[in-house]
Structure 1
Amino acid sequence: MNTLIYTREFLLSLRHQPLAMTVPKINIDFDDTKRKTKKKKKRGSRGGIRNRLRRRGARLPMPSVTLTNAQSLVNKMDHLQALVKYDGDYRRSNIICVTETWFSEEKLHNPDIDGYTSIRLDRSKKKTSKEKGGGLVMYVNKDWATNITVRETVNTPDYEILHNNVISPTLSTP
C-alpha cells in the first residue's frame, strides 16, 4: 500500500492556485476493509440471515414442538423438569407434548413445570373401562403464548385427542 505525504508548503501553495489546476494521477490501492461507508444489503442465498437471527433473539421462526412417550410420567417428573432446565432442545421448545402419562382423574398429580402452562387430558375409567395407560399432557411455553383455549377433548378406549387453540403474539412479529 502506498502512502502519500504532503509538506505544509505544498498544501499552502494549492490554496492560491486556480481551480483548473492539473494534479498528477497517482495510483493508490485503498484497503477496502477499513472503509467507513454503510454496506449494501446482501442479496442472494444468505441475504443477511445472520443479522435477522440476531435481532430475533430466542424466538424461533416456527414453533418448536417436542413429543415424548413417558409411560408413566408420575415417576419421571423430576427428569422432565431437569431436561427442560438443562437440555437446550427441551428449553427452546415452544410446546412439549407427553403421551402415556398414566394420570387418572381419581388420583391427583402435579405435572407443572416452571415457565410452562400445562393442559391435561387424563384417562377416564368410566369412558374407556381401562385403569392403566393413556393420558396426555401438553406444556406450552409462557414466553411463547399465553392465550390457550381447549377446543375439544376425546377420550375413547382406543385413542385420546386434546385439541387446543394456541395464539402466540410472537409469531405475528417478524
Structure 2
Amino acid sequence: MGVLDLEAKIDLLEQQARQCNVEISNIPERRNENLIDLLECLGKQIGYSIRKEDVVSIHRVPHAAQNNKPKNIVAKFTTRIQRDNTGCKEHQQLGISGTSHKVFVNEHLTLRNKQLFRKAREAASSEGYKFVWTKHSTILVRETENSAVLAIRTIEDIGKIKANTKSAKTNSSM
C-alpha cells in the first residue's frame, strides 16, 4: 500500500467519524453565546425540532486559512438521520440581532473533501452547471434539472464535468 492509498484511507476514516456532524457557517460570534440555543433556533427556522438530547457536542472551529469570517460551528448529532434532517443548505438569518446575512448548513467535510467540493463548484460554475451539492460526503453535480447526476470523488473526476459538457454540446449540434 502506497502513501497515496494510506492518505485516502485516513481521509475516508476521518470522513466517517464526521458522518453525524453538520458545519454551520456565517453566524456572528458573540461573547458568552449559547450554541445549543442557536442550534434550536436553526431547527425552528427549518421546521425541524432539534432537542438538546439530540446533540452530542457543539463547538466553534477555527478556519484552515486566516480570514475575518466568524468561526464555523460544528454540531455532532446522535444519528445521521438527525443530521440529514437539519437540511444541509442555505438559510436566512436565525433571529440574531444585527444585519441580515445568509447562514449555511452543510455536511462536515474533511479538508480534502472541502477542497474537492470547492474545485467542483468552480468547474461546474465555469461550465454552466446549475447544481453542486453533497450527500453522504459524496460531491454531486448536475447540469440541469433533467440531466444525469455526476459523482465527484477525486480530483480526476472533475474532468467528468468538462467531458460531460463537451459531449452534450456535440450531441446537440448533430
TM-score, normalising length: structure 2: 0.23
Identify which of structures 1 and 2 has the higher relative contact order when contacts are C-alpha pairs closer than 8 Å and 6+ apart: 2
Structure index of larger Rg: 1
Higher percent of residues as helix: 2
